[in-house]
Amino acid sequence: INRIYRGRKLPYLLSKYGGMSISIVSLLFFNRFVTDPLTGLKAFKRRLINKLDLKAEGVELDAEIIAKLSFQNEYILELPVEFFPRLKMEGKKITIIDGIKTIYYFIKLRFMDRKKQ
């Protein structure tokens, strides 16, 4: 991660601890600690994904999947993958705004939308 931010402390700290913060919010709100909630790689059984009735798009979809799986008491299995951080010009797309959106969506799903379900 340090190579990506070229010694700039603030972006480095936001990236490193922002991801941890999202994982902790997931644990507090949904009793699910997901190591990398904004990962683009996910796999599901078709019956399970159909049952979730997903509505979100973008990074909010990651939050919705975690929330709805926890509401249905489904287990989330994480498998390690080899990962190499990328620069923006190499295709990095996740930003601090995405992290803030994810935390907001967690709050929305936990305290607002949950009452409708």
Per-residue pLDDT of 24-57, as tens digits, reads 999 999 999 998 888 777 788 888 888 898 999 9
**CA 75 vs CA 48, 65, 68: distances in Å:** 11, 12, 11
Residue 58: count of CB within 10 angstroms of its CB: 12
In the predicted model, residues of the chain with pLDDT beneath 50 are: none
pLDDT at res. 30: 94
Max CA pair span of the chain: 46
Tell me how far apart the alpha carbons of residues 24 and 35 are, in angstroms, rounded to a whole number.
9
Please provide residue 115's backbone torsions phi and psi, each rounded to the nearest 5 degrees.
-65, -25
Q: Tokens for 57?
A: 């798009």
Q: Which residues contact 82 (CB under 8 A, 6 or more apart)?
A: none
